Amino acid sequence: MTKFNELGVSAPIMKALEKMGFEEATPIQAETIPHALEGHDVIGQAQTGTGKTAAFGIPLINKINAKLRKVQGLIVAPTRELAIQVAEEINRLAKFKSVRALAIYGGQPMDRQIRALKDGPQIVVATPGRLLDHMRRKTIRIDQVHTAVLDEADEMLNMGFIDDIREILKGIPEERQTLLFSATMPKEIRNIATTLMKEPKEVKVKAKEMTVENIDQYFIEIPEKYKFDTLNNHLDINSPELAIIFARTKKRVDEVAEGLQARGYRSEGIHGDLTQGKRMSVLKKFKQGRVDVLVATDVAARGLDISGVTHVYNFDIPQDPESYVHRIGRTGRAGKMGEAISFITPREMAHLNLIEQTTKSKMKRMAPPTNQDARRGQQQVTIEKLKNAINEKDLKVYEDAAKELLDEYDSITVVSAAISMMTKERRDTPVRISSVAPISVKKAKNQKDNKTKGRSNNKRFYGGRGQGGRNQGGRGQGGRNRKGKGNYQRRNRDN
Ligand SMILES: Nc1ncnc2c1ncn2[C@@H]1O[C@H](COP(=O)(O)OP(=O)(O)OP(=O)(O)O)[C@@H](O)[C@H]1O
Ligand SMILES: [Mg+2]
């Protein structure tokens, strides 16, 4: 275990770390901070929730000249919410040094950002599109920038956004230091990344698996049309503190979020088509626990650090194994435990193997909970409430009423009636979710024969009812699927 003062971190940052309760450096911090402080370019790869933000934040703040009120550090992140969160963490780390970080991102009025930029923040955290906008309008000056950070670098370099990143980096003096971080770094993306850097030190925190071990990973093989009720049952049984449910499209996110609301859950959806104001208010409610089930597209998959997320559900499995890693990484952060449950349609079973091969971890099969299990789960919640009332409330004023009731009925009947009245009967509310085509499993096809055998025992749970074709809605997959995915990822990318 490494202490921060062994890493050459300056006194004001040490003081902030102490205030934040960071006692020891995480492995990625211990390994990258010395390289970064020496001025090297760094590629840092470590599992989700292991403190990569501070791994680049600390050396960056360390290097800032607090007296110079010019942008000296530039951090680029793929989503607006992440830009905001990273700026907040940087500001916490820089609390005892006169260094300020500002987040700039799409969906917020330009003039407000221009005014804020004039205030002289030394660090700017931005989404690529909005940053380029400011650069082209010359409303941001980056000629004094000595450090550039790409957080979630692979995501930004993925899918043709390399040109935006290149253009951004071209505006920064060449002698800059470049730091690049992510939990995933596919080889081809890393190769692109190295073209943007000078002899980078590559730090990959050694781990057997790409996912953190404190996340228990499960899958449930389930036909499309049973997903929603299964999700309901699960939520009732587990009563997550906070849960994030990932769905494939914005439409599905809206439908699932509304369906859950109709069934009495405090649920909201988040995706790239919402106004920025709405996105922020949904996230705020979720962080405060006023919403406890967040339904999201991949816009919420990367980087978001929300404490109390005990469960992540893949209502639809993602196409990319990398996306799986990031999604489930919203739980099990900073050493806490978490649970990830992926719904996989029988036709997608081969895709499960592809994900497992990439992440080098296994998902355990879980039987879908029955309605009876769920009912027991719901009743358990009621029973807990009753027990709390017994222990904590003054029940004297109700005693006469209770005695009257017990004169007329036996105690079991009375208590059963009370439990029934206090228990939500969710399934009385019908909910319809439009179906989607299963994920294309093209890439994984040749693994299908040897790997999925014996796994596809869907019959056990559903009495061998027909599946497949009906879920697909007759649509072809392949090319179309891939195109669709590219589109929504692009739009989600936001800026
Ligand atoms: N040294 C430390 N000691 C204790 N907590 C820490 C330490 N470093 C970071 N944390 C906390 O751990 C949590 C996760 O950190 P962070 O968001 O930086 O993870 P990450 O590696 O960037 O994850 P992701 O891959 O999901 O982006 C945060 O709440 C952060 O404040
Ligand atoms: Mg991060």
Tokens of 255: 């439908």
Q: What are phi and psi of 344, to 5 degrees?
A: -125, 125
pLDDT over 60 (residue 113): yes
Alpha-carbon distance of 328 to 334, in angstroms, equals 14
> Strand, coil or helix: what is 478?
coil
Which of the ligands is closest to the CA of residue 92? 1
Q: Which of 1, 13, 19, 53 to mutate to test the pocket of ligand 1 (most atoms within 8 A of CB)?
A: 53
Report yes or no: 172 and 198 within 8 Å, Cβ to Cβ.
no
User: Residue 184: how many CB atoms within 10 A of its CB?
Assistant: 26
> Strand, coil or helix: what is 167?
helix
Alpha-carbon distance of 360 to 322, in angstroms, equals 12
User: In percent, how much of the chain has pLDDT > 70?
Assistant: 88
Q: Give the residue whose CA is nearest to atom 25 of ligand 1.
A: 48
**Hey, which bits of 194-247 come out as E strands?**
201-204, 215-221, 242-246
Report yes or no: 219 and 188 within 8 Å, Cβ to Cβ.
no
Give residue 48's pLDDT.
96
pLDDT over 80 (residue 234): yes
Q: Do domains 2-206 and 210-371 have the same CATH topology?
A: yes
CATH number, domain 210-371: 3.40.50.300
Q: CA angle 259-263-268, nearest 5°?
A: 50
CATH number, domain 2-206: 3.40.50.300
Name the average pLDDT for the chain: 87
Task: Provide the pLDDT confidence category of residue 257 given band limits of 50, 70 and 90.
Answer: very high
Cα of 53 vs centre of ligand 1, distance in Å, is 6
pTM across the whole model: 0.85
pLDDT over 60 (residue 331): yes
Output the ligand 1 site: residues, CB below 6 A. Answer: 22, 24-26, 29, 48-54, 183, 303, 305, 329, 333-334
Which sequence spans correspond to the domains of the chain? 2-206, 210-371
- What ipTM goes with this model? 0.99
Cα of 304 vs centre of ligand 1, distance in Å, is 10
Beta-bridge partner residues of 122:
none
CB within 5 A of ion ligand 2: which residues? 52, 303
pLDDT over 50 (residue 473): no
Q: Model confidence over 190-221: pLDDT tens digits?
A: 898 999 999 999 999 877 788 889 999 999 99
Alpha-carbon distance of 329 to 256, in angstroms, equals 21
Cα of 52 vs centre of ligand 1, distance in Å, is 6
State the first-to-last Cα distance of the chain, in angstroms, to the nearest integer. 38
